[in-house]
């Protein structure tokens, strides 16, 4: 009997296609150094040689007329939580305040258009193509043979410049901007935003912006360089709070700057407190006549639409049996917090990730099996063989009965998903659907989403929550064969 699916409402961008003109420009863009990929491919010598500097991005934006100064910006740094906060602020500014808003995030899950959003929706191909064409033309003089490699704009420099230019062209009033990596030396740190957010600090990209947590905190706090700006932070470790305060105080030029920390029992509450404080700061600094408190339940649909592959549930059915699939781009151990117990795991990771710690975090949820795969041939992705070996070692050494968790390897993510679903279905009962969790990489999330949305013709389940370990109730039925 064939699988049948539960269909949802968020099915935009399922084919991943782009216009021919944009495709040609992206081919040119891909000729530039792309540290998003290279820093995952080699955690040693290549990362030590990596150029991380804001100056090439600033020169490029100067050549474009500094479009980033044509709107008011909120700048967000942090190891985790940036995307959620960006979605919360965007949804509020668009839906409750009626402003024209641009949002810049990275990386994308399925389509590059996700990185630049206008009113919360992915930018249109032609608008992105126009901006990319201008950014590439402005970058060309800095890419000539006589220019030292460390001074040349990178892939992310040009993409960032294109995003900022597209927002200017669209006439946005407010921009919500995520850092790509770090903060002080990130390409986005040309903004000089009056309102800055630092969500969290954990060990990621430590070879570049570390090595320690204090180094990472110092780098991320470097976005708060504008005189009289405010940095709102969810960092809870006392020693890191002190580092952040000292960093902001020592930034040049010397000027009054504020640092505010929020305390909360959960990530959801912390995100809300940070977003609400940012909204109050925007209202006070820019003279809003009214500052209505956010109605987060009202804003959830747009927020979820902006967060593909983040705690996103799908439902599959075969006869009386059901399997729920959770797609989540979590890739550091600290983000493995809310998973269903006893699930079948599909796992893929980048070479630079902490595989052993991540697998240990997964084992807290007593998985029935872990299926290791690889999301592509790019050297930045860990081969399934290596991932299987490292994950298996952790599971074999794990205490208690969960150490019997089998670890498999399947070369292709699509086949890994199919195998996990079949295993889960075999164990499922009519009244007790089992879960499959696809995790470890936003790139894996993109492939799995594309498989579910396009090839399997399902949809994500509408959900009013930002994250949950169990799927939402009331899944609509569809009659489409898998």
- HSE-CB for 372 with a 13 A CA cutoff: 25
What's the chain's length in residues? 482
Q: Are residues 242 and 315 in the same domain?
A: no
Q: Are residues 122 and 233 in the same domain?
A: yes
Residue 376 belongs to a domain with what CATH number?
Answer: 3.90.190.20
Phi, psi of 17 (to 5 degrees): -80, 155
Range 102-134 burial, b when 16+ CB lie within 10 A, else e: bbbbbbbbbbbbbbbbbbbebbbbebbbbbbbb
Please indicate, yes or no, if residue 250 is contained in any of the structural domains.
yes
Helices 82-91 and 267-286: angle between axes, nearest 10 degrees = 50
Please indicate, yes or no, if residue 468 is contained in any of the structural domains.
no
Q: Are residues 323 and 372 in the same domain?
A: yes
Which among 276, 305, 334 is the end of a domain?
305
Confidence at residue 202, expressed as pLDDT on a 0 to 100 scale = 86
pLDDT in tens, 202-211: 887 777 888 8
DSSP state of 5: E
Q: Which domain holds residue 244?
A: 32-305
Please indicate, yes or no, if residue 18 is contained in any of the structural domains.
no
Highest mean pLDDT: which of 46-50, 282-286, 465-469? Answer: 282-286
Q: Are residues 320 and 433 in the same domain?
A: yes
User: Of 439, 181, 457, 434, which is closest to residue 310 (Cα–Cα)?
Assistant: 439
Cα–Cα separations (whole angstroms), residue 413 to 3, 104, 344, 459:
18, 28, 14, 18
Question: How many domains does the structure of the chain reveal?
Answer: 2
8 contact partners, CB below 8 Å, separation of at least 6? 314, 458, 459, 460, 461, 462, 476
pLDDT in tens, 350-391: 998 999 999 999 999 999 999 999 998 888 899 999 999 999
Please indicate, yes or no, if residue 473 is contained in any of the structural domains.
no
Confidence at residue 271, expressed as pLDDT on a 0 to 100 scale = 96
Confidence of residue 469 (pLDDT cuts 50, 70, 90): low
Q: Are residues 70 and 203 in the same domain?
A: yes
Q: What angle do CA 84, 216, 383 make, to 5 degrees?
A: 75
pLDDT at residue 472 above 60?
Answer: no
Q: Are residues 393 and 418 in the same domain?
A: yes
- Assess contact for 425 and 319: CB atoms under 8 A: no
Helices (H), 96-221: 125-139, 155-170, 206-209, 213-221
Please indicate, yes or no, if residue 193 is contained in any of the structural domains.
yes
pLDDT at residue 482 above 90?
Answer: no
Q: Is the peptide bond before 121 cis (omega within 30 degrees of 0)?
A: no
Confidence at residue 321, expressed as pLDDT on a 0 to 100 scale = 75
Q: Are residues 56 and 163 in the same domain?
A: yes
Weakest-pLDDT range from 111-125, 258-272, 322-336: 322-336
Q: Are residues 343 and 431 in the same domain?
A: yes
Q: Is the peptide bond before 253 cis (omega within 30 degrees of 0)?
A: yes
Q: What's the CA gap between 373 and 260, in Å, rounded?
A: 42
User: Of 416, 427, 312, which is closest to residue 370 (Cα–Cα)?
Assistant: 416
Residue 73 belongs to a domain with what CATH number?
Answer: 3.40.1190.10
pLDDT in tens, 228-249: 999 999 999 999 999 999 999 9
pLDDT in tens, 31-73: 998 866 655 445 444 444 555 689 999 999 999 999 999 999 9
Please indicate, yes or no, if residue 15 is contained in any of the structural domains.
no
Confidence of residue 111 (pLDDT cuts 50, 70, 90): very high
Q: Are residues 388 and 437 in the same domain?
A: yes
pLDDT at residue 480 above 50?
Answer: no
Confidence at residue 26, expressed as pLDDT on a 0 to 100 scale = 97
| pTM reported for the whole predicted model | 0.88
CA terminus-to-terminus distance, the chain: 10
Q: Are residues 279 and 330 in the same domain?
A: no
Please indicate, yes or no, if residue 292 is contained in any of the structural domains.
yes
User: Of 252, 196, 239, 236, which is closest to residue 220 (Cα–Cα)?
Assistant: 196
Please indicate, yes or no, if residue 467 is contained in any of the structural domains.
no
pLDDT at residue 269 above 60?
Answer: yes
Q: Are residues 61 and 199 in the same domain?
A: yes
pLDDT in tens, 388-424: 999 999 999 886 544 579 999 999 999 999 999 999 9
Cα–Cα separations (whole angstroms), residue 143 to 16, 28, 48, 242, 341:
30, 12, 22, 41, 51
pLDDT at residue 109 above 60?
Answer: yes
pLDDT in tens, 69-100: 999 999 999 998 999 999 999 999 999 999 99
Which among 305, 327, 361 is the end of a domain?
305
User: Of 135, 122, 154, which is closest to residue 14 (Cα–Cα)?
Assistant: 122
User: Of 77, 58, 79, which is closest to residue 164 (Cα–Cα)?
Assistant: 58
Q: Are residues 284 and 369 in the same domain?
A: no
Q: What's the CA gap between 112 and 96, in Å, rounded?
A: 27
Cα–Cα separations (whole angstroms), residue 179 to 19, 182, 321:
27, 7, 43
């Amino acid at each position: 009997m064939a699988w049948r699916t539960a269909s949802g409402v968020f099915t935009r961008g399922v084919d991943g296609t782009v216009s021919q003109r944009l495709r040609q420009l992206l081919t040119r863009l891909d000729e530039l150094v792309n540290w998003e990929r290279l820093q995952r491919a080699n955690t040693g010598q290549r990362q030590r040689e990596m150029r991380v500097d804001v100056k090439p991005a600033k020169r490029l934006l100067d050549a474009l007329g500094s479009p980033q100064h044509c709107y008011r910006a909120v700048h967000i740094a942090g190891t985790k939580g940036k995307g959620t906060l960006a979605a919360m602020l965007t949804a509020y500014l668009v839906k409750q305040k009626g402003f024209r808003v641009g949002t810049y995030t990275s990386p994308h899950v399925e389509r590059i258009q996700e990185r630049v959003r206008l009113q919360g929706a992915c930018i249109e191909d032609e608008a992105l193509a126009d901006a990319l064409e201008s950014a590439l033309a402005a970058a060309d003089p800095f890419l000539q043979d006589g220019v030292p490699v460390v001074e040349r704009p990178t892939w992310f420099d040009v993409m960032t410049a294109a995003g900022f230019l597209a927002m200017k062209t669209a006439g946005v009033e407010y921009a919500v901007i995520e850092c790509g990596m770090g903060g002080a030396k990130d390409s986005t740190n040309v903004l000089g935003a009056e309102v800055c957010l630092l969500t969290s600090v954990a060990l990621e990209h430590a070879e570049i912006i570390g090595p320690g947590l204090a180094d990472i905190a110092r780098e991320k706090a470097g976005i708060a360089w504008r005189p009289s700006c405010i940095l709102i932070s969810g960092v809870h470790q006392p020693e890191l709070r002190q580092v952040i305060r000292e960093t902001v105080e020592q930034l040049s030029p010397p000027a009054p700057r504020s640092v505010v920390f929020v305390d909360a029992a959960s990530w959801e509450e912390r995100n809300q407190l940070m977003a609400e404080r940012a909204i109050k700061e925007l209202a006070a600094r820019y003279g809003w006549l009214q500052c209505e408190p956010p109605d987060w339940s009202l804003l959830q649909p747009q927020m979820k639409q902006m967060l593909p592959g983040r705690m996103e549930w799908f439902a599959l059915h075969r006869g009386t049996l059901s399997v729920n699939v959770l797609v989540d781009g979590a890739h550091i151990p600290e983000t493995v917090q809310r998973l269903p117990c006893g699930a079948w795991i599909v796992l893929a990771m980048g070479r630079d990730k902490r595989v052993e710690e991540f697998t240990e975090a997964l084992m807290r949820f007593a998985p029935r099996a872990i299926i290791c795969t690889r999301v592509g041939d790019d050297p930045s992705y860990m081969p399934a063989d290596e991932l299987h070996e490292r994950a298996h070692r952790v599971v074999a050494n794990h205490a208690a009965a969960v150490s019997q968790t089998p670890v498999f390897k399947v070369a292709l993510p699509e086949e890994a998903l199919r195998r996990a679903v079949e295993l889960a279905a075999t164990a499922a009962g009519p009244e007790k659907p089992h879960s499959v969790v696809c995790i470890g990489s936003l790139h894996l999330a993109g492939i799995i989403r594309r498989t579910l949305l396009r090839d399997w013709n399902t949809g994500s389940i509408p959900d009013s929550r930002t994250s949950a370990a169990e799927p939402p109730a009331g899944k609509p039925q569809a009659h489409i064969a898998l």
